[in-house]
Amino acid sequence: MIEAVGWQYYEVFFEACSERLAPDGLMLLQAITVQDQAYEARKREADFVKRHIFPGSCIPSVTALCSAATRASDMRLFHLEEIGPHYATTLRLWKERLLARWGEALALGKDEAFMRMFELYLAWCQAGFEERYLGDVQMLFAKPASRREPILAALRTAANATSAA
């Protein structure tokens, strides 16, 4: 969970990851992200999530992650997939399930204040993803000796093989 690493340590993170990969290795990173334009202001801001849910966390931007990887490693971004809209749906479903099992959670010892805070957290995040202020990306980084075919080219080849059959 790169969001827990802290922006001050992104370069250390990428350096450590790169050192552990083979010369042709790949690294897949999934990250919740904030718009590039909002990153600098948000990284030091103590919002609801930083105060109550994940103290010390930092939601990175795609540019912040790519820049750190570039400065601290020999990896390059090979592919990026944005799955944020799917995550908005996931959060909505989690919130619905939380509300449906509210009594069970209280019976387990969770108090009403905790439950309301968690409900607010899920709704807050869902709205962020629905408005595309937040993203959820899968970033595939490649070491210099990697000769992997582009992902979209491989998908086209597979689709063509299926349609020809």
Looking at residue 75, its pLDDT comes to 98
Rounded Cα gap, residues 111 and 133, in angstroms: 31
**What per-residue confidence (pLDDT) applies to 103?**
94
Is the pTM higher than 0.75? The answer reads yes
Per-residue pLDDT tens digits of the chain, which is 165 residues long? 899 898 999 999 999 999 999 999 999 999 999 999 999 998 888 888 888 888 888 999 999 999 999 999 999 999 999 999 999 999 999 999 999 999 999 999 999 999 999 999 999 999 999 999 999 999 999 999 999 888 776 666 777 777 776
Write out 68-125 in H/E/C secondary structure.
HHHHHCCCEEEEEEECHHHHHHHHHHHHHHHHHCHHHHHHCCCCHHHHHHHHHHHHHH
Residues in a beta bridge with 139: 29, 80
Phi/psi of residue 43, nearest 5 degrees: -65, -25
Question: Where are the domains positioned within the chain?
Answer: 2-85+131-164
Sheet of 134-142: strand order equals 26-34, 134-142, 76-82
Relative orientation angle of helices 62-72 and 10-19, to the nearest 10 degrees:
50
**pLDDT reported for residue 48:** 83
Q: Which CATH number fits domain 2-85+131-164: 3.40.50.150, 1.10.1740.10, 3.40.50.300, 3.40.50.740?
A: 3.40.50.150
Query: 34 φ, ψ to 5°?
Result: -115, 155
Rounded CA gap, 36 and 75, in Å?
Answer: 21
Confidence (pLDDT) at 154: 67
CA distance 122 to 127: 9
Q: What is the pLDDT of residue 108?
A: 93
